[in-house]
Structure 1
């Protein structure tokens, strides 16, 4: 058979490729191309024999057929069964066993143990059928059957076993990476908790003082026109303190972020603050999970806050639409001419916070600013 030295040759090529790529951060596509070229190089050794055999192939046509078969390895990650079927065709037509080794390895590597074992059993059964029933293969005496099994079985079992081992190695590596990521997230969460406690202690104290002083000033100026302003200031500080408690202290007890049903009140509040809102929302949005509704609310809330800072008096367009499996949130507003030296106070972290929240749910967020407008577009998976 043409592939008697193929196992040792495959090991040599694999080891050489490993040394070649050890210091080279190769992409998966580049590795697939290298694998296909390696397989083609090994099968090219059989070109003289294929042209001389009774299979109606010349040297040029044999090279084309082998190249087409090896090219199926370019899709071995997504569709390894294509290489497997092409390898079975090579066995029956050309008695060529090189491609089947790469195909069985690919099935085991990218489809797991069950698929690898199934592919190996199918390969062995097909080879045994050809050996026993197809003319042109060796006669079915005991000696030739033993030699046949001594070639076919090790090729299939070893290639599939190496692929399954690599699959398990990939699973262990992914598990290790996920554990490391979970440890980092836990550390970040602990740091956030520590920061939140500091914020609650210091900001909460200042808000309490602001509330008390505003109430005192309201009582002292009861007979003046400023009494109502001080009362509103005291109410605002009190609400801010309550929200601070809900976000930091009671986070684990109940949800502190409203859903999409709170957008109407949010738009009304923004209108009272001087930034009218035109809200357009698909009815299907009400069927989203609470986590996604909270994300929608926070994105719109941050955008309205930015509009109040940078575009006070301008109308804010808010559109929340269900686009197939995705949810699209678009918030835009015009930008007024800003007097030099009177830019609003802004830390610039609002957009980053929105983006982090959206990305954590598998979505994307883009913020586009032009000379006369500002637009934020976020997309989220609905499921």
Structure 2
């Protein structure tokens, strides 16, 4: 509880602390290189943080308010305060603006990604609804049509089975057929229930390889098996996939080569390979069709395996590769629920987001250049207003009254005002307004004491 309270308090203190830090940076007057760098870092951190625009605006208002209070309390003159605020905005506003732009760029890309994810979810939900409708329609069709037809067949077989004139061998055959048909109806009912509930229809979970092959043998299919793996080896692979492969292969063989032997071979290694071969009768060669094998192939590919079939003139072969069970093989249900590929649209959305991000950065760069240009224009304007010609400066002598000197001086001076000794009042005036002149930044300094000029000299950053 104490830790949660500390975290909550720290989160609540972050916003006021960021605002105060940025306001303090804005109030710095003529900072040195390290102080200016620290101010830029603070401004960038505020801009890239949450609510950067609001916190920046609050910090600016707080800095203007505090600056006004200082001027009213007898601090710097308002003109000097305005000048310092303009340069402070340039020093801190540009890194703050860069932080805001960077955050907006990330936000644009995040919104595009979230929009794509939402669209995928909606598309997936729509596909699930469509699939559920198809599944229910199929379940009803199986229940109403095929189930009813099989029930009638079972009923007719039951009547034949009760016929006392039926020979014993025929009676046994009919009994076996009726029992197999009853089992088929039960499996059909399980498949219909699975379709209605959304589970994967197909082989009941009680099926295994031995039971499937035994049932095929009882149905009259001659099956030759070689290389059968041990139960321990088979446990490493998906049982349902294996039984689906064997059942589809045997069903296909019985359909296209009735009465012919089916040869099944197993090879167990990193993956389980199942090979099924059966002859194809002449009148059926080259006519293999249906959706069972294609559906099985899609299922195996979804699990990381593969299915190959080859139909010759006299033989049909099937080779299935079943991967081992593990997290690397995605479940088939998840693959079936994946939305249709819409990569072109997603690429267009992401490209548009990247383009908007670059536009934000480019606009920020243009705005930063405009701010720097405006500050330079303001500085040039202030310098021209404080420009003192060399001829007028040469006419000012030590001992002149302040009134006489004022007639030669411009109405404005270079700010900030230079430091003066107690009882002395000094003022700087620009030597040139050309920023590319070697004398740019130099000044004529006039100092007064008791209303008289006590010094008039040329100063520069190298010789203050």
Q: Please report the TM-score for the alignment, with normalisation by the length of structure 1.
A: 0.51
Contact 1:310 1:344 in 2 (8 A): no
Contact 1:277 1:316 in 2 (8 A): yes
In structure 2, the CA distance between the partners of 1:196 and 1:212, relative to structure 1 (3 Å rule), is same
Of residues 128, 132, 140 in structure 1, which corresponds to 2:33? 140
What SS does structure 2 have at the residue aligned with 1:226?
helix
Cα deviations across residues 17-41 of structure 1 (Å, max 9, x unaligned)? Answer: xxxxxxxxxxxxxxxxxxxxxxxxx
Q: Which has the higher contact order (CA 8 A, sep 6+)?
A: 2
Report the counterpart of residue 353 of structure 1 in structure 2: 295
Report the counterpart of residue 56 of structure 1 in structure 2: none
Report the counterpart of residue 252 of structure 2 in structure 1: 306
State the alpha-carbon separation in 2 of the partners of residues 344 and 283 from structure 1: 39
2:240 paired with 1:294:
yes
What SS does structure 1 have at the residue aligned with 2:262?
coil
2:89 paired with 1:196:
no
In structure 2, the CA distance between the partners of 1:319 and 1:241, relative to structure 1 (3 Å rule), is farther
Unaligned runs of at least 5 residues, structure 1: 1-137
Alignment of 1:222-237 (within 5 A): 222-223=166-167, 225-237=169-181
Task: Please provide the CA RMSD for this pair.
Answer: 3.6
State the alpha-carbon separation in 1 of the partners of residues 171 and 287 from structure 2: 27
Q: Please report the TM-score for the alignment, with normalisation by the length of structure 2.
A: 0.43
What SS does structure 2 have at the residue aligned with 1:211?
helix
What SS does structure 1 have at the residue aligned with 2:208?
helix
Contact 1:316 1:331 in 2 (8 A): yes
Report the counterpart of residue 332 of structure 1 in structure 2: 275
State the alpha-carbon separation in 2 of the partners of residues 182 and 281 from structure 1: 42
State the alpha-carbon separation in 1 of the partners of residues 40 and 194 from structure 2: 74
In structure 2, the CA distance between the partners of 1:233 and 1:282, relative to structure 1 (3 Å rule), is closer
Contact 1:281 1:320 in 2 (8 A): no
Task: Return the offset for 1:224.
Answer: 5.2
Of residues 309, 323, 326 in structure 2, which corresponds to 1:368? 309
Report the counterpart of residue 49 of structure 1 in structure 2: none
Alignment of 1:1-383 (within 5 A): 140=33, 142=35, 150=92, 151-220=94-163, 221-223=165-167, 225-249=169-193, 252=197, 257-259=203-205, 262-272=208-218, 273-278=221-226, 279-280=228-229, 283=232, 285-286=234-235, 292-310=238-256, 312-319=260-267, 323=270, 328-339=271-282, 341-342=283-284, 348-359=290-301, 362-369=303-310, 371=312, 372=315, 373-379=317-323, 382-383=326-327
Q: Which has the higher helix share?
A: 1
State the alpha-carbon separation in 1 of the partners of residues 311 and 151 from structure 2: 40
Unaligned runs of at least 5 residues, structure 2: 1-30, 43-91, 328-464
Contact 1:275 1:307 in 2 (8 A): no
Q: How many residues align?
A: 236
Q: Which has the larger radius of gyration?
A: 2
State the alpha-carbon separation in 1 of the partners of residues 113 and 298 from structure 2: 28
